[in-house]
Structures are given as C-alpha cells and as structure tokens.
Amino acid sequence: MASPRIEGAKVAVLATNGFEQSELEQPVAALTAAGATVHVIAPKGPEIQGWEHHDKGRSTAVDLELAKAKAGDYDALVLPGGVINPDALRLEKKAIAFIGEFVKAGKPIGAICHGPWTLIDAGGVEGRTMTSWPSLETDLKNAGAKWVDKEVVVDQGLVTSRKPDDIPAFCKKLIEEIAEGRQAAAA
C-alpha cells in the first residue's frame, strides 16, 4: 500500500538548541515528501543547534519564532528529542502553552525519544499509552501514562517512539495520523 499523501497539511516542529539531529531532520524530510508544509519553530532564531548523540551536529534554520506562532495555524505537531532540547523547552511557558493547544484540540502529535517530556508539562500524557527513551519511563508513569517499550505507539493521534532507530516507523505512523486527522476534519 502506498504511503498516504498529506498535501495542504501544515506541521509545526517545535525545537530549540540541543535537538537530536536525526529526530528533527528525518521527520521534516518525510513530512515534506508526503506533501506537508513544515515549519521549524523555536523560542529564538535565526537557527538552532543540533546534536548527534553526544557530539555537536549541524544547525537548522528556524522558520518562525515561537512568539509569532499560533497552534491554530497547524494541523499537527512534532516534538523531536535529544536530552537538552525538551529539557530546555519545559522551562519555556510559551512552548508548553503552544503544545497544550495541540493537546486540547486533539490534533496529531508526534514525540520521539525525550520529546514526550514536554507533553507531561502540557497535560498531554495522562491516560495515554506511549513510549519514549527508557529514562523517561518513570516520569511518564508518574504523570499518568501507560509506558510500553515498543518501536512506535499510537494512541488517539499521539504517536511516540523511543530512539533514532525507530524514525522510519515513527514517520510512517505520524503521516497516517495526519492523513486521518485531515480526513476526519474534512468529513
């Protein structure tokens, strides 16, 4: 079966310095290839610094600063991991409010590796089945999530994965959820 197309979908990727390189770049490439318009949103621009595990990676251009971003302009949200990135975003009230708007609206959200950390602060994990980097298991359980160790988990539009090796499955399910969300909205 061919991958779904999501032409016309607008996807926000919320990140800051310290994002895991592959967890931002590969979903952006997959979403773009599927027809979506993707904007990298960060608290400050003009670019943010990536990491490849423990080594400094490449910088990525910021398309829109968080202060100017409106969740209502987007169909879905991606939260890349890396330890530094979500830990820093958890301290940004505007970032948590932005994520919370996607949670409240029931829009598709993809969070990989340490990305689900920000969902805790945004009230998006209670009662949800999800996965993450293993070190987040206790945090997610304490916030009311059911944590499982799987490559990709989908729970009512929330797509979560554990690590860079899971990115292909993560991207596939995220695109499917965005396509379903757009179909439901059109109906």
In the residue annotation, 39 being an active-site residue is answered as no
Report DSSP letters for the chain, one per residue.
-PPPP-TT-EEEEE--TTEEHHHHHHHHHHHHHTT-EEEEEESS-SEEEEEETTEEEEEEE-SEEGGG--GGG-SEEEE---SHHHHHHTT-HHHHHHHHHHHHHT--EEEETTTHHHHHHTT--TT-EE---GGGHHHHHHTT-EE---SEEEETTEEEE-SGGGHHHHHHHHHHHHHHHHHHHH-
In the residue annotation, 171 being an active-site residue is answered as no
- Among 39, 53, 54, 114, the active-site one is 114
- Residues that are catalytic: 113-114
